[in-house]
Amino acid sequence: ARLMVWEAAYKYDTGEDASKAAFLAKNYADKMVLEVTDGAVQVLGGHGYIREHPVELWLRNGRGFVTMDGAVLA
């Protein structure tokens, strides 16, 4: 995801159209945040859902970032 962001930033800096590259980078990062945090919750089991554990917050924040623009890749 970081390389995709750098590519989009490079295109933007050089005056190229970076909208597609930025969109793809954001969607890939959205997909990865859900995959990684969901995996962490699965590993922790019930502890992944309690509010005292940071993984629950990461999952909630990740879902919020994904739905902020309305685009969700399944």
Entry field: residues in the chain: 74
Structure tokens at 1: 């995801």
pLDDT per position in the chain (74 positions), as tens? 899 999 999 999 999 999 999 999 988 988 898 899 999 988 988 877 788 888 888 888 888 777 776 554 44
Please state, as a whole number, how many other Cβ atoms lie within 10 Å of the Cβ of residue 55: 18
Q: Which CATH fold topology does 2-68 show?
A: Butyryl-CoA Dehydrogenase, subunit A; domain 3 (1.20.140)
On whether the pTM is more than 0.85, the answer is: no
Domains of the chain, residue spans: 2-68
DSSP letters, 12-42, are HHTTS--HHHHHHHHHHHHHHHHHHHHHHHH
Q: Are 3 and 32 in contact (CB under 8 A)?
A: no
